Structure 1
Amino acid sequence: MAFEELVVRLNDGGYKNWLKAGRCLVILKEGLHPFTDQHMRDFHGYLLDHNPQLRNTCRASCQLRTNKLCSGCSEWKKEILKQHRQPKPTIYWDNCSPAYWRTDHWELAKAYMPRGQASKQRADQCDAAALLNLINHCNWFNFVDPKVVREVIQSRNELMHSSNFRMTDEWMRHFQTSLKHLVHQIDQQSQMKKVAQQIDKMLKLNLSISIDLMDGLESDTTSQSDVNSDLVGQWEAELLQEMLQEFLNTPAEDEDTDAPDAEHLRTLAGFLEANKDLSERFSAELQVINSLKAKE
């Protein structure tokens, strides 16, 4: 039954576009993990080498919410603002633990990310949106055109906030172009060259044919034989899980971002409930959403 429901969804071209675009963002994220981690290590080392005050140990366990920082942490805060690519930046200081700025390059990275990164300790714990915002905001990445980065961020937001879980062919062409331009600017590293190849392969993938191959039906497309319904179902579940996490974890007061509202949650819940296989897989999340709806 679950397989049949997945096949029905994949018979919709717009839904297949939505799913493939989401998978491309996962591929991009996995390529950005080592790329951003190494560059932030280099950036952190550069700052320490060029400003001796940044080496001072925090002896007060500074917390930004108290607005009282020791001299070393205050110097780090000044440097973070100085290295921001925007003239009047909004920085989510709650992402950071100032006492660790001196020793942990990823605590520095989180100052350039959206709200909600406080628990993320490594690059590979961050999603595509967080890493793209890091590149967009941190001056260390000034070799990447911010316009190109913002185009991918916008496409990502449109995908995650889609009300019908469908993307048009025209949207996909624009998305593909934006991804290509971004990866091209940072493909001096071998893993990004591999990312470009994987994204291209994903965008060309005929998910319907892949399902047929899983059932042993004859097909001329043998290059896709390693993709079956279980794998496609996993991709779908990962994308929906990311949406649920974002929609449920975004603070309601976060008015200056594209924070999902109650309508987004209702739409997502309705989609999951309309597909029995998905409603069973995400039953716990649906209970949370229904409890939130009951409080409205």
Structure 2
Amino acid sequence: MDATTNIFTHKETNNWFKAYIALNVTKEGLTNFVVSELKNVHSAIGISCGQCSIANLMPCPTQGLCKKRKPYTCTFHTSQLPKSCQTCDKVKQNIKSLHRFNWPSWRNSKAERWVTDPWEIGKCYLPPDGYSEVSSVQESDFNGVISILLNCKHFQTCLSPACLSPPPPDKQCPLEKVISRYTNKIAKTHVYLSNTLM
């Protein structure tokens, strides 16, 4: 119990909290901008039918989605078989063409909501895991917001060229550096807090 009562007197612990607050304030500052620009992305991508699910739109197998298990059944396409929908296929292709690395995070998004919710399209530009149940930019974390800025090519028209120079995936790209440092800080924070609280 003594270790937990003294945690706030450690300088390093206070620095971690300051870093967390700074990341949170930065994310909050970017939120309205990202929400506004995702509406523009939503308009540019087109209107889906509102009836198709991701499982309907993706062929089996799709790397990153489908997992084959014995006896050769796909755990992603268990209840819905892929089908063709020209309207949603066009939206899907437009989402992919705006993705800097041509690899949207389909698993995060609910295609049924593409017709009305720009955030569901924005979720395609997030990291592949951990965001499927995040229902808004406000609920997302710093990493999610920066990932959208980095992964969605629309934002290169809204940001200073210096933010994306040299172009991603160059490790010297400022947005790449931000994500890398954020990821490293989070990992170190978990180690530090687990060691401090033990």
Q: Same fold (TM over 0.5)?
A: yes
Say how many residue pairs are matched: 162
Distance across 2 between alignment mates of 1:122 and 1:68: 28
CA pair 5-72 structure 1, distance change in 2 beyond 3 A = same
CA pair 56-91 structure 1, distance change in 2 beyond 3 A = closer
CA pair 130-69 structure 1, distance change in 2 beyond 3 A = farther
User: Cα offset for 1:148?
Assistant: 1.6
Whose helix proportion is higher, 1 or 2? Answer: 1
Is this contact kept in 2: 1:62–1:69, CA < 8 A?
Answer: no
Is this contact kept in 2: 1:83–1:140, CA < 8 A?
Answer: yes
What's the counterpart of residue 72 of structure 2? none
User: Cα offset for 1:61?
Assistant: 4.4
Residue 70 (str. 1) matches residue 85 (str. 2): yes
Residue 159 (str. 1) matches residue 185 (str. 2): yes
CA pair 56-12 structure 1, distance change in 2 beyond 3 A = closer
Residue 46 (str. 1) matches residue 72 (str. 2): no
Q: 2:196 aligns with which of 271, 275, 289?
A: 271
Distance across 2 between alignment mates of 1:69 and 1:32: 37
Is this contact kept in 2: 1:85–1:137, CA < 8 A?
Answer: yes
User: Cα offset for 1:72?
Assistant: 1.6
Report the residue type matching 2:49 in the other structure: T
Q: What are structure 2's unaligned runs of at least 5 residues? A: 59-75, 165-172
User: Cα offset for 1:98?
Assistant: 1.3
CA pair 120-69 structure 1, distance change in 2 beyond 3 A = farther
CA pair 12-60 structure 1, distance change in 2 beyond 3 A = closer
What's the counterpart of residue 109 of structure 1? 122
User: Cα offset for 1:133?
Assistant: 0.4
Larger-Rg structure: 1
Identity of aligned residues (%): 23
Shift >6 Å, 4+ stretches: none
Q: What are structure 1's unaligned runs of at least 5 residues? A: 49-54, 166-242, 244-263, 275-296
Distance across 2 between alignment mates of 1:140 and 1:85: 9
Report the residue type matching 1:271 in the other structure: T
TM-score, length of structure 2 as denominator length: 0.70
What's the counterpart of residue 15 of structure 1? 13
